[in-house]
Chain A
Amino acid sequence: MTEELDAGLVGRQIAESGMLGEPAPDRHEVGAARRRKEDARLVTGRTHWTDNHQLPGMLHVAFLRSPMAHARIVSVDTSAARGLPGVVAAFSGHDLAAEQGGLPCAWPVTEDIVLPEHPPMAVDMVRYPGEAVACVVATDRYRAADALEAIEIDYEPLPAVLDMTAALREDSAKVHEAGNRAYTWKYAEGDIDAAFRDAPVLIERTYVQQRLIPSAMEPRAVVAQSEGDHFTLYSATQIPHILRIMLAQVTGIPEHRLRVVAPDVGGGFGSKLQVTAEEVLVLLLARRLGKPVKWTESRSEGNLTVHHGRDQLQRVALAADADGRLRGLRVDLLADMGAYLMLVTPGIPILGAFMYNGIYKMDAYDFTCTGVFTTKMPTDAYRGAGRPEATFAIERLMDELAAELSLDPIEVRRRNWITHEEFPYTTIAGLTYDSGNYEAATEKALALFGYDKLRAEQSDRRDRRDPVQLGIGVSTYTEMCGLAPSRVLGSLSYGAGGWEHASVRMLPTGKVEVITGVSPHGQGHETAWSQIVADALGVPFEDISVLHGDTAISHKGMDTYGSRSLAVGGIAVVRACDKVKEKARHIAAHLLEASADDIEFDGGTFRVRGTDSGRTIQEVALAAFAAHDLPEGVEASLDSDATFDPENFSYPHGTHLCAVEVDTETGATKIRSYVAVDDIGKVVNPLIVAGQVHGGLAQGIAQALYEEAVYDAEGNLLTTTMADYLLPSAADLPEFVTDRTETPATSNPLGVKGVGEAGTIASTPAVVNAIVDALRPYGVHDVPMPCTPERIWRAVQGATS
C-alpha cells in the first residue's frame, strides 16, 4: 500500500527500511496479564533514580536536625563547620530566613483554620524532633555529614505537646501562639438525636488509629541545578506538576523558569505527595551557590521527617434497632496534625468523613473532626488517606453490633447494606455511589474462604478450650477514589482541580508516544497505558512509549495519588486516542478519496466501507508527517491533547475475610487464611491489579499487627530504625487468595474504578476483627493497634483476671 502514499523521499525511505510500524489487528491488550515493560530497568536500578544523578560540580547538602521536640533556638554557630575540609557553605535558618518563604498548605478546610507559618528551616523555634535547624554543603556527602557535628546550637527547651486530648486543654503548652486547635469541621445529615433516642442498641467505642511512617523503598532524594535564570529540580516525588507551581510560589522563581522532574520514583504511598522542606532548601542552595546540589535522606532521617500517616482518636457511636438495622452514626474525631499543616494535612481526616457510613444505609449521621497541633512530625496522605481510618471504625462497629446481637457478622451487614438494585444510591454522607454489588462479592468471598468450615473449626477450638483460638474477621468495604471531580474538590476548599491530561502523538514511523499527566512511582502506568493505546489505535503494545514525570515533557497534569491514575488519567488517554483516530480518519478518507463518513476503523486500519481499499494508521501517521497531501484545514502530524474531569468519584468495593490463629499463651498471631474479593470495575491488567492488592493487603495488615511510630514522654521519636519500626516482609505474610467481581463504574468510558488503596483500606479491620473474634469468649472486645503479642496477651489477662 505504501507506494500509493505520497510521503516524499523520507517517507519512502521509512517505508522501505522496514521502520514503519504495522497494525496489531488481533491482539486484545486491555484485560491481558501483561508483564510490566518498566520492570527490567526498575528492578535492576539501571535507570534514573534521583540519587543516581551525577552533575558536573555537584555539591552535597546534609541537614542538622533538632534533637528536641520543642525548643527556642537561642543561637546557631556554623563557623567551625565552615572551616572544615571540603565544606563549601553552612547555613542556619536565620541565614536563609529572607529567601526561604513558607511551606504551603493547599487544603485549608475551614474559613477559620489556623495556618501557622512553616519555615523550611527552623529560624527561632523547633516544633518537632528532626526539624532542620542548619545545613552544611560540601564537596561530598561524607564531609557534609562529618561537618554537621561541628555546628553548635544552643536550645532553650520547651514542653513537648504529645497527647491530643491534653493539647486541647486550656493549660496545655502551645505549639503555636494561636493555640493547639487547628480547626473543627462538621457534617450532619438526618435527625441524629432521633436516631439515638430510645435506640434499642447503642455501641460506643474509642479507637486509636496509631501514627504510621510511610516506608517507600526509595528514600526521598532531591537534586537541583541552575542554568542561568532557569532551574531544574529532580525529586523523588509523586507530584512534579503540583510541586512546580508550589515551588514557584514559595521561592519566587517564576513558573516558566522552573522545570521539575520526577524521574523513576521508587514508591510513595502518599509520602511523596508533598512539598517538602528539603525540596525548597535544595533549590534555594543551588540558586545561592550557583552549583548543582544533591540531598538523599537516610532511612533514619526519613523515619523522623517523612510526613507521617493516620494518628487519629476516633470516638464513635452506633445506634441500631433490635434486629440490627442501623439508625444513626456519630463520629467525633481528633486528628493529629503534628506541628504544622503541610500540603493536604488538614484534609486527610475530612476525606474520611464521607466514608464512615461505609456500604450501609442509615437514618442519620453526625461527624465532627478537630485537627490538633502537637510537637510531632506533621501528618499527611498515607495510602488510603482518611478512608482506611473511616473503614476501620465502621467495620469494627459492625462486628461489635453483630456480637451484641449474637448475629453472624455477615448477616448484620446484609441487613444494612445497599442492595445492587438500589444503585445509583445517594448515601447519608452525600456521595452518590454509582454502582456496586456487595451481595456478589460477599458470596464469592464466603465460598473461597470456606466460611462455614472455619466457623466449625472455631467452635471446636472454643469447645476444646484450645490455647490457640481461631478468629474470623469480616470487612465489607467501599471507598471513594479516582480523585477527583474538580467541582467537588472546589466545594471542599481544596486548592486545585482534579482533572487529568494526556497527549498521544504518532511518530513518522508509526510508533506512538503517550504523554501522561499522572506521575508513576511504581504502579506500572507505562504498561497499562500501552495496553489502552494499543487497543484504541490498533498498534502493537511494543510500539508504544509512555513519557511522564517531567514538566518540560508533560506540560500539564495533576499527578498520582488517591487511586486516580486510571480512572482519571487513563480516561484522558482514551480521549486523546479518540482525537487521534478522528483526525486520522479524515486524512485516510482524503488519501482514499472517500468521504470520512464512509471510513471505518478496525484493527489498526482505516477502510472504505465495503471495499478492500484502506490505509493503516501508521501509513496515515507517515502521511500526516510528510504533509504533502493533507485535506484542507488539517494540520500536519498526527497527535492530540485531551483532558478528563470526571463527574463523580469512583467507588471500588469488596469483601475481605481473614482467619487468624491467636496463641492465648503468648499473644502471638498467625494469619491462617486471607481472602480478598475486590470489585474495581473493569480491569486493564490483572497482574498489576494483583500486585496492587497484595501490596495493599501487606500495608493494611502491617497497621493491624506491626507498625507504630512511638514518641517517648519527652517527645523523642523512638522508632527511627527498622529494628524498632517493624515492617512485615513476605516471610511474615500468608498466601493471599484474591479474586474479583466486576461491576463497571458508570462514571467513565472504561468502567474502571482504581485499585491502589483498596487492599489497605479493607484489610486492617478484617485482621483486627479476626483477632477480637478469636478472643470474644475471653470477654475481649478490643485490642488496640498494632495488635502486638504483648497487647493481645494483656487483653486476655485483663479479661480473665
Chain B
Amino acid sequence: MIPAPFDYVRPSSLEEAVSALADAGEDAKVLSGGQSLLPLLRLRLAYPSVLVDIGRLPELRGIRDEDGHVLIGAATTHDEVLRSPIVHAECPLVALATATVADPAVRHRGTFGGSLAHGDPAGDLPAVAVALDMEFVVHSPSGERVVAARDFFLDYLETALGPGEVLAAVRVPKLGEGWGFHYEKFHRTAQAWATVGVAAAVRVSGGAGGGPRRVEEARVALTNMGPTPVRATQVEAACAGVELNGSATGYAAATPNGAGPGAGLDTRNGCGPGGGHSALREASAAAAEGTSPPADLHGSPEYRRHLARVLTHRALLSATTPA
C-alpha cells in the first residue's frame, strides 16, 4: 500500500521539532519508530500533511536512573529498554511487558514513547503505564508540562497530547521493596496484539520467618478491555489484606463437585481452592467490572471479560509467587 502524499521534516533538536509541529498545524503527525503510524499511512487510514521525525533526536533517547524514578526517553527503542539493567532492576514490569511487544524486528524500531503516544489500548505498555502511575513529560512551544498516566489516555488512539505537543520522556516511579510483578498477555500468535493483557504489581509483606505472607497493595491494569487502559480498582481493593498461606496444593481432585473433568474448571495447576489463592481468585472475579471490551475477530466482549478474570488471577498468582 502506498501512503497519500505528505511532507517530511527531520528536526535536529527537540526545540526545532516542537516549532516544526507548531508551524505544521493540526494535520501534522510525529513520527518516531513508525511501527504503528506507518501501517496507518500505508492503509490510508491517516492522511497527515506533515510528518515530523523525532526518531533520531539524541536527547529523546536513553534511560537514566534519577531520584525516585527511572527516566525513559520517548524515542528509546523497545530493544534498548529490554537491554537496560536499570529497567530490569528498578521497573521490571516494564521489561516484562516490553518483551511481549510484537517481534524482534518491531522492537528494534518501535519506541517506548511512540507506543504510549499512539494510545492504542491493545498495546502492552499503556496498561503498564497506568499500573505504575508513570508520568509523561510533554513539550510544546509554551514549555514543558507533566501529565499523569491516568490523565494521559483519553480514548481509542486519543491522548492528552495536543497539537504541537511532543512526548519527550516518561518517568517511571520506583516502587521500592517488597513488590512482585507480572504481565499476563493472551494472544493468538506470537506477533499478535493482546486479546487481553493484565499488568500486575503486588506488594507482599511477611514470609520467610516474618509471619504470614500478606498482600499489602496491588495494582492491576488491563490491556484491550476498553478504549483506554483500565485500572481494575475493585480487584486492587479486594486483594489488599489477602493472606497467602502458600499451602494451596489443592487440586481439582479436592473439589467437591466432581462430576467429570468439567467440574474441575475453577482450579488451576498448583493453585487450588485453598486460602489466599482462592481469595485472589475471588478478587479477580471483579476484573471485568466497568470495562467495555471491543468485539473483533479475536474475541467477543463476553469472552474478553472472562479472559480478564482468568488472566488477572494468573497475573496475581505470578506476581505474588516468591522468586
**Smallest CB–CB gap between B308 and chain A, Å?**
11
> Chain B residues with Cβ under 8 A from A467's Cβ?
252, 264-265, 267-269
Interface string of A697-736 (1 = CB under 8 A from B): 0000000001000100000001101011011110110000
Q: Which residues of A contact B2 (CB under 8 A)?
A: 141-142, 145-146, 298
| Binary contact readout A414-431 vs B (1 if CB under 8 angstroms, 0 otherwise) | 000000000000000000
B260 within 8 A of A: yes
Give complex CA distance A232, B103 in Å.
41
**Count: A-B pairs, CB below 8 Å:** 108
Does the CB pair B310–A665 fall under 8 Å? Answer: yes
Q: Is there a chain B Cβ closer than 8 Å to A668's Cβ?
A: yes
Give the CA-CA distance A17 to B192 in the complex, in Å. Answer: 59
A664 to B252, CA, bound (A): 13
Residues of B within 8 A of A27 (CB): none
From A467, A468, A666, A728, residue with most partner B Cβ within 10 Å: A467
A129-161: which have CB < 8 Å to B? 141-142, 145-146, 149
User: Does B251 belong to the interface (CB within 8 Å)?
Assistant: yes
With A146-B5, A800-B265 known to touch, is A726 a contact of B192 (CB < 8 Å)? Answer: yes
In contact, A664 and B265 (Cβ under 8 angstroms): yes
Within 8 Å of chain B (Cβ to Cβ): is A778? yes
CB of B16 to closest CB in A, whole Å: 28
Report Cα–Cα, A728/B187, bound state, in Å: 12
A793 contacts the other chain (CB 8 A):
yes
Contact code string A458-473 (vs B, CB < 8 Å = 1, else 0): 0000111111110000
List the B side residues contacting A793 at CB < 8 Å.
303, 306
Cross-chain contact B4 with A723 (CB below 8 angstroms): no
Q: Judging by beta carbons under 8 Å apart, are B261 and A719 in contact?
A: no
**Set A141, A466, A719: member contacting B297, Cβ < 8 A:** A719
Is A724's CB under 8 angstroms from B252's CB?
A: no
CB-based contact B190/A465 at 8 Å: no
Q: Answer whether A788 and B188 are a contact pair too, CB < 8 Å, given A665-B265, A710-B297.
A: yes
Interface pair A668/B186, CB less than 8 Å apart: yes
B323 adjacent to chain A (CB < 8 Å): no
B1 close to A298 (CB less than 8 A) = yes
- Residues from chain A with a CB closer than 8 A to the CB of B152 are none
Q: Using Cβ atoms and an 8 Å threshold, which residues of chain A touch B262?
A: 664, 777-779, 796, 799-800
State how many angstroms separate the Cβ of B40 from the closest Cβ of chain A. Answer: 11
* Assembled-state Cα–Cα distance A721/B42 (Å): 11
Shortest Cβ distance from A468 into B: residue:
B269
B186-220 contacts to A (CB < 8 Å) = 186, 188-193, 195
B85 at the interface (CB under 8 A from A): no
Task: For the complex, give the distance between the alpha carbons of A437 and B307 in Å.
Answer: 46
Is the beta-carbon distance between B189 and A666 smaller than 8 angstroms?
A: no
A717 to nearest B CB, angstroms? 11
Q: What mask results when residues 1 to 13 of chain B are scored 1 for a CB within 8 Å of chain A, else 0?
A: 1101100000000
Residues in B268-316 with C-beta less than 8 Å from chain A: 268-269, 296-300, 303, 306-307, 310-311
Interface pair A729/B191, CB less than 8 Å apart: yes
Q: Is A789 an interface residue (CB 8 A)?
A: yes
Q: How far in angstroms is the closest Cβ of chain A from B164?
A: 28
Query: Which residues of the partner chain B approach A465 to less than 8 Å between Cβ atoms?
Result: 251-253, 255, 258, 260-261, 263-264, 267
Check B261 against A790 for contact (C-beta < 8 Å).
no
**Which residue among A141, A301, A465, A793 has the maximum number of chain B CB atoms within 10 Å of its CB?**
A465
For B310, the chain A residues whose CB sits under 8 A away are 665-666
**Chain B residues with CB below 8 A from A142, complex form:** 2, 5
How long is the Cα–Cα vector from A146 to B186 in the complex, in angstroms? 39
B43 adjacent to A721 (CB under 8 Å): yes
Q: Confirm or deny: A300 has a beta carbon within 8 angstroms of a beta carbon on chain B.
A: yes
Would you call A666 and B186 a contact (CB within 8 A)?
A: yes
Determine the chain B residues whose CB is within 8 A of the CB of A724 once the complex forms. Answer: 296-297
Does A732 lie within 8 Å of B297, measured CB to CB?
no
Residues A746-798 near B (CB distance < 8 A): 777-779, 788-790, 793-794, 796
Determine whether the beta carbon of B5 is less than 8 Å from that of A790.
no
Q: When chains A and B are docked, how far (Å) is the Cα of A16 from the Cα of B231?
A: 83
A732 contacts B190, CB within 8 Å?
Answer: yes
Interface size on A, residues (CB 8 A): 45
Taking a contact as CB atoms closer than 8 A, the residue among B43, B186, B268, B311 that contacts A300 in the complex is: B43
Number of B positions contacting A (CB below 8 A): 40
CA separation between A724 and B252, bound complex, in Å?
A: 36
A665 to B269, CA, bound (A): 11
Given contacts A464-B251, A465-B252, contact A718 B297 (CB under 8 A): yes
Complex CA distance for A772 and B113, rounded to whole angstroms: 44
A728 touches which of B4, B189, B258, B300 (Cβ 8 Å):
B189
Minimum Cβ distance to chain A for residue B102 (Å): 11
List of B residues within 8 angstroms of A668 by Cβ: 186
Which of chain A's residues have a CB closer than 8 A to the CB of B192?
A: 723, 726
Nearest-neighbor residue (CB-CB) of A467 within chain B: B268
Q: How far is the CA of A757 from the CA of B296 in the complex (A)?
A: 32
Interface 0/1 of B247-259, CB less than 8 Å to A: 0000111010010
Q: Report Cα–Cα, A706/B187, bound state, in Å.
A: 12
By the criterion CB–CB under 8 Å, are B261 and A462 in contact?
Answer: yes
- Least CB distance from A289 to B in Å reads 21
The chain B residue sitting closest to A780, CB to CB, is: B262
Contact (A789, B188) CB under 8 Å given A462-B261, A666-B310? yes
**A726 and B265 contact, CB distance less than 8 A:** no
Chain A residues positioned under 8 Å from B264 (CB to CB): 464-467
Q: Are A706 and B307 in contact (CB under 8 A)?
A: no
Chain B contacts for A718, CB-based, 8 A: 297
Query: Separation in Å of the A220 CB from the closest CB of chain B?
Result: 15
Determine whether the beta carbon of B265 is less than 8 Å from that of A300. Answer: no
In the assembled complex, the CB of A145 is this many whole angstroms from the nearest CB of chain B, namely 4
Contact with A along B120-158 (1 / 0, CB 8 A): 000000000000000000000000000000000000000
Rounded to whole angstroms, the CA-CA distance of A399 and B92 in the bound complex is: 47
Query: A636 to B29, alpha carbons, bound, how many Å?
Result: 71
User: Closest A-chain residue to B122, C-beta based?
Assistant: A723
List the B side residues contacting A729 at CB < 8 Å. 103, 189-191
Q: Give min CB distance, A151 to chain B, whole Å.
A: 14
Contacts of B311 in A (CB 8 A): 666
Closest approach, in angstroms, between the C-beta of A575 and any C-beta of chain B? 46
Q: Which residue of A lies closest to B271 (CB)?
A: A467
Which residues of B are found within 8 Å of A300, using beta-carbon distances? 1, 43
| Interface-centre pick from B103, B189, B192, B296 (highest chain A CB count, 10 A) | B189
- Report whether A706 and B189 are in contact in the complex, using a CB–CB cutoff of 8 Å: yes
Contact A466 B252 (CB under 8 A): yes
Do residues A723 and B193 form an inter-chain contact, with CB atoms below 8 A?
A: yes
- When distances are taken between beta carbons in the complex, the residues of chain B under 8 Å from A665 are 265, 268, 310
User: CB-CB < 8 A to A778: which residues of B?
Assistant: 260-262
Q: Please give the distance in Å from A130's CB to the nearest CB on chain B.
A: 14
Contacts of A149 in B (CB 8 A): 4
Alpha-carbon separation in the docked complex, A141 to B188 (Å): 35
- In the bound assembly, the distance between CA atoms of A729 and B105 in angstroms comes to 14
Across-interface contacts of A799 in B (CB, < 8 A): 262
What residues on A are CB-neighbors of B258 within 8 Å?
465
* B residues 39-53 touching A (CB-CB < 8 Å): 39, 42-43
Bound-complex Cα distance A141 to B297 (A): 32
Residues of B within 8 A of A794 (CB): 303
Measured CB to CB, the closest approach of chain B to A729, in angstroms, equals 6
What's the Cα separation between A432 and B195 when bound, in Å?
49
Residue of B nearest to A720 (CB): B43
Contact partner, B253, options A464, A469, A728, A779, Cβ 8 Å: A464
Given known contacts A141-B2, A789-B186, A790-B299, what 16 new A-B pairs fall within 8 Å (CB)? A301-B1, A462-B261, A464-B252, A465-B251, A465-B258, A465-B260, A467-B269, A468-B269, A666-B186, A666-B311, A710-B297, A731-B189, A731-B190, A777-B261, A789-B188, A800-B265
**Can you pick out 5 interface pairs between chain A and chain B where the beta carbons lie within 8 Å of each other?**
A141-B2, A466-B264, A723-B192, A726-B192, A731-B103
Interface residues of B (CB under 8 A from A): 1-2, 4-5, 39, 42-43, 103, 186, 188-193, 195, 251-253, 255, 258, 260-265, 267-269, 296-300, 303, 306-307, 310-311
9 closest residue pairs by CB, A with B: A465-B264, A465-B252, A731-B190, A800-B262, A145-B2, A790-B303, A298-B1, A465-B261, A777-B261
